């Protein structure tokens, strides 16, 4: 898979929650759930740990409150790397 950068500069293609990786490795549900708790401190049902990428038009996102996506869209940028 070619690298996919999010609006904030993270790489979607490396994330276990990215839709393409969820579909490729459906048996990783428990690993995703445990990792989410380890790194973010809260539990999410494994079926909800799936993200389309904030670059999509109407994406399914895990973090609905992320301020970066609306900021970059409002400023006409693909991601924060383009911001001065």
Per-residue pLDDT of the chain (84 residues), as tens digits, is 688 888 988 898 898 888 888 999 888 888 889 988 998 888 888 888 888 888 888 998 888 888 999 999 999 998 888 888
How many CB atoms lie under 10 A from the CB of residue 39? Answer: 7
The verdict on residue 6 lying in a domain is no
Task: State the total domains in the chain.
Answer: 1
In a domain, 71, yes or no: yes
Q: Contacts by 78-82 with C-beta closer than 8 Å and gap 24+?
A: 78/5, 78/7, 79/5, 79/6, 79/7, 79/8, 79/9, 80/7, 80/8, 80/9, 81/5, 81/9
Range of the domain at 29: 12-82
């Amino acid at each position: 898979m070619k690298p996919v950068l999010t609006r904030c500069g993270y790489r979607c293609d490396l994330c276990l929650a990215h839709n393409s990786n969820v579909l490729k490795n459906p048996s990783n549900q428990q690993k995703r759930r445990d990792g989410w708790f380890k790194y973010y401190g809260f539990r999410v049902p494994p079926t909800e740990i799936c993200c389309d990428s904030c670059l999509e038009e109407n994406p399914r996102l895990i973090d609905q409150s992320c301020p970066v996506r609306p900021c970059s869209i409002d400023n006409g940028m693909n991601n924060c790397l383009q911001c001065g």
